[in-house]
């Protein structure tokens, strides 16, 4: 393809226009980095961009978001970004998914995806991007920023990856930082105020250009080694380090390496078990199973993320005496025996069968 629009691309030796046109890229987060990544992908002529973001545009976003205008304030970031990149190149198809990608990025969509660009601003969402990319064996690029540095992390899960995953390289301080948002028992602290990282378009555009350049080379001549590139926009230097496997990693050392991805309705049906009732089942996120007051247990069976640490005070005048059962480990027999007729309140289940199964929960509310 060497039509007029892509004339200057035709002599580039590291990609073909047809390969870009055939690519389907997921961009998680349509903030400063997501804007830059999408702009680059669209101008290069990528075929399909799926963008995921739950938020609306605020005035302070306008200093770092090339796709947003004053008149867009109050509209959803994903929808406006999708519309604008199609204006940049009408040949690009852009689909907006407004909401939490943990719910909207389904296994079917993951399977159709070529590469995932993780452009979010917090560790919990990056950990979830990493989990999905690792399970679906899709190439992953994670971009992070502060006021001086841009970081680009490459995980070629779909291209014969060697080395670690995103969580392999996370220092314990990150988990400590995440745990500060929670009281004991995985309920969010209602009083927690999230700190905002100071950034400018300078680190966002520098890191995003490198991210797209390297992300589009997956599967090519680039080595398949997981790597982290750190760009210092003040000194003008950059460094590249490989990411090794961490034997303690909570993602790649816990989740099965070769699991089948399936989907099932989330409604739990009380039927004769075809499988061993003792099979261990792990939920993708903690579930508030029940609370017990004065020896009397009440089933809740909802995602623990729906509650915060004010919950015990809403059910008893003596909140310290409320016993919460919050878990992500079950047996198949317990789930079917205790919770049939209810919905499974998580994104997926890890079933420790032989071989292991990863089952996405579909339909109803999580
Ligand atoms: Zn890992």
- pLDDT tens by residue, 322-357: 999 999 999 999 999 999 999 999 999 999 988 899
* Cα–Cα distance, 26 to 61 (Å, whole number): 21
169 Cα–ligand 1 center, Å: 7
* Cα–Cα distance, 44 to 17 (Å, whole number): 8
Q: What is the mean pLDDT of the chain?
A: 91
213 Cα–ligand 1 center, Å: 24
> Are the C-beta atoms of 82 and 96 separated by less than 8 Å?
yes
175 Cα–ligand 1 center, Å: 14
Q: Could you list the beta-strand ranges (E) of 250-315.
A: 260-265, 280-293, 296-303
121 Cα–ligand 1 center, Å: 20
Note the pLDDT of residue 179. 81
245 Cα–ligand 1 center, Å: 6
DSSP 47: S
Note the pLDDT of residue 270. 78
Note the pLDDT of residue 1. 47
The DSSP-derived string for 97-151 is EES-HHHHS-HHHHHH-SEEEE--SSHHHHHHHHHHHHHHT-EEEEEEE-SSEEE
Mean pLDDT within 176-202: 77
1 Cα–ligand 1 center, Å: 39
> Are the C-beta atoms of 78 and 96 separated by less than 8 Å?
yes
Spans of all domains in the chain:
4-242, 260-362
Question: For helices 32-44 and 201-215, what crossing angle results, to 10°?
Answer: 40
Note the pLDDT of residue 277. 87
Neighbours of 306 (CB within 10 A): 14
> Are the C-beta atoms of 114 and 139 separated by less than 8 Å?
yes
CA 245-247-252 angle, 5° bins:
65
**How far apart, in Å, are the Cα atoms of 122 and each of 119, 145, 174?**
9, 10, 10
Domain 4-242, architecture per CATH: 3-Layer(aba) Sandwich (3.40)
Note the pLDDT of residue 180. 80
Of 258, 52, 243, 102, which Cα lies nearest the Cα of 166?
A: 243
Percent of the chain with pLDDT over 70: 95
Report whether the peptide linkage leading into residue 134 is cis, meaning its omega lies within 30 degrees of zero: no
* Cα–Cα distance, 37 to 121 (Å, whole number): 14
The pLDDT tens digits of the residues spanning 245-264 come to 999 999 999 998 877 889 99
> Are the C-beta atoms of 149 and 230 separated by less than 8 Å?
yes
156 Cα–ligand 1 center, Å: 13
**How far apart, in Å, are the Cα atoms of 187 and each of 183, 192, 319, 328?**
6, 11, 14, 13
> Are the C-beta atoms of 323 and 291 separated by less than 8 Å?
yes
Note the pLDDT of residue 204. 96
142 Cα–ligand 1 center, Å: 14
Note the pLDDT of residue 159. 86
Length of the chain: 366
* Cα–Cα distance, 158 to 177 (Å, whole number): 30
> Are the C-beta atoms of 289 and 326 separated by less than 8 Å?
yes
Note the pLDDT of residue 15. 82
* Cα–Cα distance, 102 to 132 (Å, whole number): 9
* Cα–Cα distance, 302 to 10 (Å, whole number): 53
Mean pLDDT within 234-255: 95
**Whether the predicted pLDDT of 271 surpasses 90:** no
> Are the C-beta atoms of 117 and 130 separated by less than 8 Å?
no
The pLDDT tens digits of the residues spanning 138-153 come to 999 999 998 899 999 9
Mean pLDDT within 107-125: 95
> Are the C-beta atoms of 130 and 140 separated by less than 8 Å?
yes
Neighbours of 189 (CB within 10 A): 13
164 Cα–ligand 1 center, Å: 5
254 Cα–ligand 1 center, Å: 9
Note the pLDDT of residue 14. 80
255 Cα–ligand 1 center, Å: 9
Best-predicted range by mean pLDDT (23-37, 219-233, 301-315): 23-37
246 Cα–ligand 1 center, Å: 6
Q: Are strands 139-145 and 93-98 parallel, antiparallel or unpaired?
A: unpaired
């Amino acid at each position: 393809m060497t039509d007029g629009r892509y004339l200057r691309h035709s002599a580039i030796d590291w990609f073909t226009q047809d390969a870009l046109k055939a690519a389907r890229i997921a961009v998680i987060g349509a903030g400063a980095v997501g804007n830059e990544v999408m702009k680059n992908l669209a101008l290069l002529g990528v075929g399909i961009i799926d963008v995921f973001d739950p938020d609306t545009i605020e005035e302070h976003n306008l200093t770092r978001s090339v796709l947003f205008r004053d008149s867009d304030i109050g509209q959803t970031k994903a929808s406006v970004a999708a519309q604008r990149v199609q204006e940049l190149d009408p040949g690009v198809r852009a689909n907006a998914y407004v909401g939490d990608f943990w719910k909207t990025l389904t296994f079917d969509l993951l399977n159709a995806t070529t590469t995932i660009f993780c452009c979010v601003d917090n560790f919990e969402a990056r950990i979830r991007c990493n989990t999905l990319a690792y399970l679906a064996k899709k190439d992953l690029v994670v971009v992070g920023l502060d006021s001086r540095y841009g970081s680009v992390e490459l995980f070629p899960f779909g291209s014969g990856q060697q080395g670690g995953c995103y969580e392999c390289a996370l220092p314990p301080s990150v988990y400590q930082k995440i745990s500060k948002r929670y009281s004991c028992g995985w309920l969010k602290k209602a009083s927690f105020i999230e700190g905002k990282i100071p950034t400018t378009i300078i680190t966002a555009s520098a890191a995003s250009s490198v991210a797209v350049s390297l992300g589009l080379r997956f599967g090519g001549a680039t080595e398949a080694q997981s790597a982290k590139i750190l760009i210092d926009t003040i000194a003008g230097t950059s460094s590249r380090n490989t990411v090794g496997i961490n034997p303690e990693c909570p993602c790649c050392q816990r989740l099965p390496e070769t699991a089948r991805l399936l989907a099932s309705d989330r409604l739990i049906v009380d039927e004769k078990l075809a499988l061993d009732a003792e099979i261990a089942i792990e939920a993708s996120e903690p579930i508030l199973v029940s609370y017990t007051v004065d020896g009397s247990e009440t089933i809740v069976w909802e995602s623990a993320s729906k509650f915060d640490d004010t919950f015990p005070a809403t059910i008893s005048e003596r909140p310290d005496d409320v016993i919460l059962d919050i878990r992500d480990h079950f047996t198949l027999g317990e789930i079917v025996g205790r919770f049939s007729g209810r919905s499974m309140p998580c994104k997926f289940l890890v079933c420790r069968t032989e071989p292991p199964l990863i089952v996405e929960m579909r339909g109803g509310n999580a």
